[in-house]
Structure 1
């Protein structure tokens, strides 16, 4: 009986090792395939969760386009510093956002939402608290902003989306690439229930 148990344990250990090797090989293969297809994973609820394809140069920029964006510097943005401090997003990982307004356009930011060209962006209400009311959220000062040359206003329609409502306009130089959804989970940007 003891010999049988030892044989079973040895076999299970061998299967476990092969399973781990298989997962590592599969993970590497998927990573290489995604790199070859220029795909990135968005796992935030700013935009629908899923895979997005990078299309290269975003220029010229147009409002309404999805882009990959370099995270703004925390030294100049209190909201970004707060988000990094509480690990709301990983440092150094680009974001996927929509360009809501380009240079020359006017944006009005209020608690009730963001207005561009007289139109209020859907689900752009500025949150006061994180989910569960654990932390008060820093936001950009309410007011009207005329975007200067080289500035864009970023928007994301998801619940608890972290966009220019919190850190303000960003330099065009932070826009890395244009992107399009490749495969996403519809409605996943609303998985976190919207707070007050």
Structure 2
């Protein structure tokens, strides 16, 4: 019943901040540029992103772009911030949003020094709940490099299902790379929440 009610709902609520137990997701702004840049260029992070960033000025232009996308309701990108220290941990987004078809795509990265602390799992849980509960999206999907075992494990832990292989899907550093496509549906999320409650 909850899913059917959401399908007919016209309005949605995008949030500027989403509070979790250990982290807070805050709408990414220009003030986050340096802190995010320091994390995105930390070892092992950029290798698994579909974007290429050469320097902080290019990263600043990227922040301006996603800020404009937020205004057009095409991309809701959040900076992941540690509650205790207020240090920037990483970034998570719902992008390529289609409210007509009630779908969006998720992307996430965490700075190297914050790996293995559970922040990725918590951030993914928070934004997934926001997408289904406040934005009334029906389908979330993600594309993950086939070599990115850390992200594959993260999304599978959250019950995203692998749908297939997209060959030569991303051009990264002059090389075409394959990705796995994963998805999660609103009805699956509802079942998962009921099971864990």
Say yes or no: TM over 0.5: no
| TM class, shorter-length | under 0.3
Please identify the structure whose Cα radius of gyration is greater.
1
Structure with greater helix percent: 2
Q: Higher relative CO (CA 8 A, sep ≥ 6), structure 1 or 2? A: 1
TM-score computed with the length of structure 1 as normaliser: 0.24
